[in-house]
Chain A
């Protein structure tokens, strides 16, 4: 499978790499999170003069990520969305919706995880939805 052409970063050098991109005039487009079973992959999508640039970061379950909101304030909204949908936690979030940006109290926790429930507590009325895609 051909992965998205991306530079691999680690949680330790993420902020430094992003600060360099910011200095070079890159615009943060968005973040994409993928459930990999034992952890998550997070893509950071940037753009400058229509040239896309992607950073790929892999984190094991339970590891927190630095928020980009100190460098790109707009990152706060998508980071909250990822927290809602995948349960990935961010440190230094400018505004933390506590997993309630998109979802209500009664909604299943972290519903976008494909391979496990990541500690989610399903509402009694909701059937389990987090199953691997059909082959």
Chain B
């Protein structure tokens, strides 16, 4: 009979950009159970959001995550706008979409780089990050910052994108997509990558639904679930449809993100082509009151903010459920039965963001 061994996987591990621990119970080299231990980067941001002014919260909430920061601010602004009854100008909606999709692109490229690193492809890791620099440059040119754009404000956006910058986005996307064409071939067709990812960490469609998987994890299992279809931004006007795969393994999760990169680039191009000429924001007076559950599709999946405001400048409650939090249960389901050597790849395949998860 095999002896059971418990090993701590993390909190510090070469594949983890942020600390999280999985207590793995093994029989020989096979995982039989995985238990999470989180809280290493819990900052109490929900509590802090109650103590700041609701307009200061835009900046605070943008800092929940250092990867998909813009989409946090966007979702929060949309929630407050709903409470205030504000109709955001069309140009602001399109500019938000452009920045949101740039964020999705750099987030997915970071995922691909870390995935390559997790199975020891250092050169591919560096080439992918080089491609990501193209996107970061576009954000720096248009917003002044590479990640923390802070261009979203309640009522619209606080910065415009000039015609010259729009042209620069087009050429930047051309370069990024050309580079992606080469890198994508390596990711999709390389023999070693296929051996490391295919059939690993399988999540069936039924389990994905039962365990509440979101984002590329759900889409890789065949669930065509993407909140961009709900029309919180002008995605339906641009003909958006979710990308799905059916195998539910680590390879399928990678392929969803790889294909979404091209899709995001095309959405940005389409948005630039239809950018309306309206004011950037609407002024407002007073403080929000009421409760709202605001949702958007972040790079990792569904992001939900519950906001309760009582007419004062401080929120009564701010709650964030981030996509990685939702994908923890599916991850714990994927690990039992796998080899210890596959654990890093499976964990990275859900693209975990621990700062988001713990807030």
Report A's interface with B, CB cutoff 8 A. Answer: 1-4, 25, 27-30, 32, 34, 43, 45, 50, 52, 54, 72-74, 76-78, 95, 100-104, 111-112, 114, 129, 133-135
Contact = CB atoms under 8 A, between A and B. Distances in A.
A77 B328 contact: yes
Contacts of B290: 1-3
B312 A135 contact: yes
A133 B51 contact: yes
Contact of A74 (B211, B304, B358): B211
B212 A34 contact: no
Interface in B328-343: 328-330, 333
A72 B42 CA distance: 25
Contact of A112 (B39, B47, B304): B47
A48 B36 CA distance: 28
A3, A30, A50, A104 — which one has the most chain B CB atoms within 10 A of its CB?
A: A30
Q: Is the interface of B mostly helix, strand, loop or mixed?
A: mixed
For the complex of A and B, list the 9 residue pairs with the smallest distance between their C-beta atoms, beginning with the closest: A74-B329, A30-B321, A133-B314, A2-B290, A4-B291, A102-B39, A74-B212, A32-B306, A102-B42
Q: Which residue, B293, B316, B321, B328, has most C-beta atoms of chain A within 10 A?
A: B293
Contacts of A2: 289-291
B329 A73 contact: yes
B132 interface: no
A97 B38 CA distance: 11
A73 B293 contact: no
Nearest to B321: A30
Interface string B226-258: 010110000000000000000000000000000
Given A29-B321, A101-B38, A102-B358, 19 more contacts: A4-B292, A27-B209, A29-B212, A50-B229, A52-B293, A54-B293, A73-B211, A73-B333, A74-B211, A74-B212, A74-B326, A74-B328, A74-B330, A95-B35, A100-B39, A111-B47, A129-B47, A133-B50, A133-B314
A129 B314 CA distance: 15
Interface in B288-341: 289-293, 295, 302, 304, 306, 308, 310-317, 319, 321, 325-326, 328-330, 333
A34 B308 contact: yes
Interface of B: 35-36, 38-39, 42, 44, 46-47, 50-51, 209-212, 227, 229-230, 289-293, 295, 302, 304, 306, 308, 310-317, 319, 321, 325-326, 328-330, 333, 358
17 contacts: A1-B290, A1-B310, A4-B292, A28-B212, A32-B319, A34-B308, A43-B306, A52-B293, A73-B211, A74-B328, A78-B321, A101-B39, A102-B39, A112-B47, A114-B50, A133-B316, A135-B314
A1 B321 contact: no
Contacts of A77: 36, 325, 328-329
Contacts of B47: 111-112, 129
A43 B312 CA distance: 22
Q: Is the interface of A mostly helix, strand, loop or mixed?
A: loop
A112 B333 CA distance: 30
A95 B293 CA distance: 28
Contacts of B46: 112
Contact of A29 (B36, B304, B317, B328): B304
Contacts of B312: 133-135
Nearest to A4: B291
Nearest to B53: A134
A127 B329 CA distance: 35
A129 B329 CA distance: 31
A103 B289 CA distance: 31
A3 B292 CA distance: 8
Nearest to B319: A32
B181 to A, nearest CB: 33
Contacts of B358: 102
A100 B21 CA distance: 14
A134 to B, nearest CB: 5
A30 B326 contact: yes
Contacts of A100: 39
B42 A1 contact: no
A72 B212 contact: yes
Nearest to A35: B317
